[in-house]
Amino acid sequence: MRCTRGVRLGVWALLGLLVPFAAHAQMRPVQLICEYLHDPLGVDAVRPRLSWQLKSGERGVSQTAYQVLVASTDAGLAADQPDVWDSGRVESNQSLHVEYGGPPLASSKRYSWKVRVWDQAGAMTVSEPASWRTGLLTQNEWHGHWIGRTEDTRYAPAPLLRHSFELRREVENAQLFISGLGYYELRLNGAKVGDHVLDPGYTAFDRRVLYVSYDVTAQLHRGANAVGVILGTGWYNVHSLAVWGFDKAPWRAAPKLLLELRVTYDDGSSETIVSDETWKTSTGPITYDSIYGGESYDARLERSGWDTASFDDSAWQPALLVAPPGGQLVSQQMPPVRVVRRLTPRKLAEPRPGVYVFDFGQNFAGVSELTVDAPAGTTIALRHGERVASDGSLDVTESMRHQRQKPPRFQTSEYTTAGGGPETWSPRFTYYGFQYVEVSGLPSEPSLDTLAGLVIHTDVESAGEFVSSNELLNRIQAATRWSYLSNLVSLPTDCPQREKNAWTGDAHLAAEQALFNFKPAAVYSKWLHDLVDAQRAKGDLPGIAPTSGWGYGRLNGPAWDSALLLIPAYMHQYYGDERILTRHYDAFKRYVDYVTSRAPGGIANFGLNDWVPYKTRTPAGITSTAYYYRDAQIVARTAELLGKHDEAEQYRQLAQRIFDAFNERFFDPANGSYGNGSQTSISCALYQGLVGPEHRGAVTRSLVQAIAQHDDHIDTGVLGAKYVLLALTENGRTDLAYKVVDQKTLPGWGYWMQQGATTLWEDWKGTQSLNHIMFGDVSAWFYKAIAGINPDPAAPGWANVIIKPSVPPGMQSARARYDSIRGTIASAWQIDGATLTLVVEIPANSRAAIFVPTPDADSVQEGGQPASDAPGVRFVESANGYVRYDVGSGRYTFEAARPLP
């Protein structure tokens, strides 16, 4: 291997961007999580699952045994006195989802835990302590009442509810549980509690209502205290009229609140403060709020000090006791929605006198924050949208096309000043999808400082990073991340402006990308309940969940509904989560049986097809039947996990019948093609595993032809856009998939970027929404195909990692880092002259098959010596342009003759 020093430095500069490798030689447990969250509050799982990662600087390290210790106090845990549960030493390499196995847990109690692990040499290390706190585990533990201001759903102002109370001693600990529908803002002693916005998450409130847990010890004191809550309409009292009929939702009612505050004093005695008819209510400055329409705020109506104990509320009305919303109270066990970032406008224009348009240069979900100095009673209107017309004025025609409100009001904030100095305001109970804000009513000319953009989404941690030498790919990657986050506001949504609906198809098409880029496990766990809540007795599902009842008859079908099975299957694959499969087994079966009832002879010829295609349409029969096939397999696999071997066999046989029927109906053996020969038809058969091994070569060739017919451009809708790239990669044609992604003309992701897109669009031409995530699987393909990080279907939860990068002609380098549930997986490659360098990192307690892309097996070195002599590296085979090595955990640096261009 000849490398000049300069080139080598270049390689290391690139690869140095991988996370620094663990300095510790000895394996130790880190990153302890309970139900996917760090030190969560409000855990209501009866047997919470505990996971940890293992860190080590050595190669080939794995866990051979573990011991979980759970104590009721930190001191007890530190003294190795696990008075709650001691798992004992368990001879196992399991480090994910170890179920708590102690006596039943108590409500609103903190549990401290740690784990001891043993490595192959028998050396033991112990983790730092972690904790979880339980929520209210049974419905009858709630002592409070649902209260509100009115039962009139048309009453517009947002209610304020307040209560003063005395605490007779020093507070040792205080836990607060709240649900406020549609949205709440919680305040204690004059300040907002926590940093959540648009809380609680959206559910079908007549089925399930989320409550949120806070530790408020620091916000309370001995003596007089006050709690105040503002309620918004959110999704609970939707009064905007639109095609989805949320105004007619069965759960619809006026805003209401349930609150319980449990205080423990320094002498061990306790006190509970709850919402009831002794609370007082009035209205304040929010005169209108709507999830679609926006918010109006009249600062002259602010009630100074209303959320403090000294406030005189004698003129306020007593709160009204109201009916509960009907749904079961469930703890909100996912990262909250937050304001995660501030954006500054890039440009400011004045298309009409006195009407100003701010451009943030980025499409996103959130709100704008206004700063203004104007005489009292000045009303400023801020309309939000993602397009401007040719004259520079805001154009929301597309985004409003499903709205039926008269007079129309959409994505509009309205602020009326109190006067007397600069005022800063942003709405609380709504959010918008936008890039532009049109502002009118300002008393004087604004500057860029007049507005800030507050980016809002469910605050999931980032998990992955992909960077390559091709700037176009990097831009598509960035746009995908923006679109995903814009579409994660307690639910996985389709778009943040027009609909804000959790469309099932969009959700599963975006899911694998999401699992690489972020940590959305808890969000999907919650949304799966929403889906199951929406399933009807006969097994069918609506196109959106939650739904008011809209979307069952049409605008669904296997290609959308299969989110119910696919997302749990992905969670099993990416997180090793079996519970998400087994918990919903009955719902899976009911769904597949429903499809069977509509699929005579094994062909499911109904439902949405390859949505928003470019030119060529693909009939639903192909795509729906293929999902039906996948679903039957997922039912079979889940039955196996549950030990239901007969049912597993029954659904395996069903899958086989679907496979046969599909091929009988759609396969054209003479041409190696399927259905109408569209890119989607052929790639669907390949990607969904419906092509017999003997035909794969021929079918791949016909896919290549179908792409060539469109000048090596993609010609599919949202379904095919996922299949084409993966079908090509899985059949050895990543080069062509790359060419398709690298196109800069219509249709393709590159075309969008050429047009200045900062998010992914709904359709190839860009005539509809400009912030949809359903074409986003291209980002998962970057991780899998280019960087080469692939899960092994036979070893869920990254127990085994398949590293198989591709080096498309013209690319110089690519790197990806993925914080998997087991720890960091990284793969980075670079071409220098005739040499390929590949650096791979595999977390402790995992192993990997590394496929080095080189035509010359003899050229492969690892750490400067022939790879087959390198410690912990085992040569397996050389085939199809790759040399395979099996390794344990650790960092590996391969150098080899580069693949032929």
Q: How far is the CB of 331 from ligand BGC (least distance, A)?
A: 30
Cβ distance to ligand BGC smaller for residue 160 or 774: 774
- Tokens 């890119």 identify what position? 679
Q: How far is the CB of 566 from ligand BGC (least distance, A)?
A: 15
Residue 698 binds to ligand BGC (criterion: CB under 6 A): no
Let me know: does 821 contact 574? Beta carbons within 8 Å.
Answer: yes
Single out the segment in contact with ligand BGC by CB under 6 A; choices: 171-179, 492-500, 677-685, 842-850: 492-500
Q: How far is the CB of 608 from ligand BGC (least distance, A)?
A: 6
b/e string for 603-618 if b means 16 or more Cβ within 10 A? Answer: bbbbbbbbbbbbebeb
Residue 185 binds to ligand BGC (criterion: CB under 6 A): no
Q: How far is the CB of 404 from ligand BGC (least distance, A)?
A: 15
Cβ distance to ligand BGC smaller for residue 725 or 770: 770
- Tokens 């041409």 identify what position? 671
What single letter denotes the amino acid at residue 4?
A: T
Residue 503 binds to ligand BGC (criterion: CB under 6 A): yes
Cβ distance to ligand BGC smaller for residue 611 or 629: 611
CA atoms of 127 and 29, how far apart (whole Å): 5
Backbone angles phi, psi at 512, to 5 degrees: -70, -40
Number of residues that bind ligand BGC (CB under 6 A): 12
Cα 213 to its chain centre, rounded Å, is 21
Q: How far is the CB of 387 from ligand BGC (least distance, A)?
A: 16
Cβ distance to ligand BGC smaller for residue 308 or 547: 547
- What's the angle, vertex CA 67, arms to CA 66 and CA 71, rounded to 5? 150
Residue 495 binds to ligand BGC (criterion: CB under 6 A): yes
Q: How far is the CB of 582 from ligand BGC (least distance, A)?
A: 28
Q: How far is the CB of 554 from ligand BGC (least distance, A)?
A: 9
With residue 575 as reference, give the H or E element that holds it.
helix 563-575
Residues 608-627 that bind ligand BGC (CB under 6 A): 608, 611
The residue within the footprint of ligand BGC, chosen from 506, 540, 715, 730 (CB under 6 A), is 506
Cβ distance to ligand BGC smaller for residue 54 or 622: 622
b/e string for 306-330 if b means 16 or more Cβ within 10 A? Answer: bbbbebebeebeebbebebbebebb
Q: How far is the CB of 552 from ligand BGC (least distance, A)?
A: 13
CA atoms of 595 and 539, how far apart (whole Å): 8
Residue 499 binds to ligand BGC (criterion: CB under 6 A): yes
Q: How far is the CB of 810 from ligand BGC (least distance, A)?
A: 33
CA atoms of 588 and 594, how far apart (whole Å): 10
In 3-state terms, what secondary structure has residue 370?
strand
Please report the DSSP string for 400-440 in residue order: TTTB--SS---SEEEEE---SS-EEE--SS--EEEEEEEEE
The residue within the footprint of ligand BGC, chosen from 114, 149, 722, 772 (CB under 6 A), is 772
Taken in order 685, 688, 689, 690, the sign of the CA dihedral is: negative
Cβ distance to ligand BGC smaller for residue 69 or 509: 509
Residues 554-573 that bind ligand BGC (CB under 6 A): 555
The tokens of 449 are what? 């400082």
Cβ distance to ligand BGC smaller for residue 184 or 503: 503
Residues 514-543 that bind ligand BGC (CB under 6 A): 543
CA atoms of 132 and 43, how far apart (whole Å): 7
- What residues pair up with 505 in beta bridges, in sequence order? none
Residue 492 binds to ligand BGC (criterion: CB under 6 A): no
Residue 773 binds to ligand BGC (criterion: CB under 6 A): no
Residue 505 binds to ligand BGC (criterion: CB under 6 A): yes
Closest to 714 measured CA to CA, from 777, 654, 769, 658 = 777
Single out the segment in contact with ligand BGC by CB under 6 A; choices: 15-23, 491-499, 782-790, 848-856: 491-499
Q: Count CA within 13 A, CB hemisphere, residue 416.
A: 14
CA atoms of 855 and 878, how far apart (whole Å): 9
Cα 784 to its chain centre, rounded Å, is 19
CA atoms of 332 and 584, how far apart (whole Å): 19
Q: How far is the CB of 769 from ligand BGC (least distance, A)?
A: 6
Cβ distance to ligand BGC smaller for residue 361 or 766: 766
Q: How far is the CB of 360 from ligand BGC (least distance, A)?
A: 22
Single out the segment in contact with ligand BGC by CB under 6 A; choices: 474-482, 494-502, 743-751, 792-800: 494-502
Cβ distance to ligand BGC smaller for residue 365 or 728: 365
Q: How far is the CB of 717 from ligand BGC (least distance, A)?
A: 10
CB atoms within 10 A of CB 230: 27
Mask for 732-771, x = binds ligand BGC (CB under 6 A): ----------------------------------------
With residue 52 as reference, give the H or E element that holds it.
strand 49-55
Q: How far is the CB of 764 from ligand BGC (least distance, A)?
A: 14
Please report the DSSP string for 58-109 in residue order: SSS--EEEEEEEEESSHHHHHTT--SSEE---B-----S-EEP-SSPPPTT-
Single out the segment in contact with ligand BGC by CB under 6 A; choices: 77-85, 443-451, 458-466, 497-505: 497-505
Single out the segment in contact with ligand BGC by CB under 6 A; choices: 310-318, 498-506, 753-761, 843-851: 498-506
Cβ distance to ligand BGC smaller for residue 511 or 774: 774
Query: CB neighbours of 70 closer than 8 A, spacing ≥ 6?
Result: 77, 82, 84, 85, 86, 100, 102, 111, 112, 113
The residue within the footprint of ligand BGC, chosen from 774, 778, 787, 811 (CB under 6 A), is 774
Cβ distance to ligand BGC smaller for residue 431 or 783: 431
Taken in order 68, 69, 70, 73, the sign of the CA dihedral is: negative
The tokens of 508 are what? 């599963």
Residue 226 binds to ligand BGC (criterion: CB under 6 A): no
- Contact positions vs ligand BGC (CB under 6 A): 494-495, 499, 503, 505-506, 543, 555, 608, 611, 772, 774
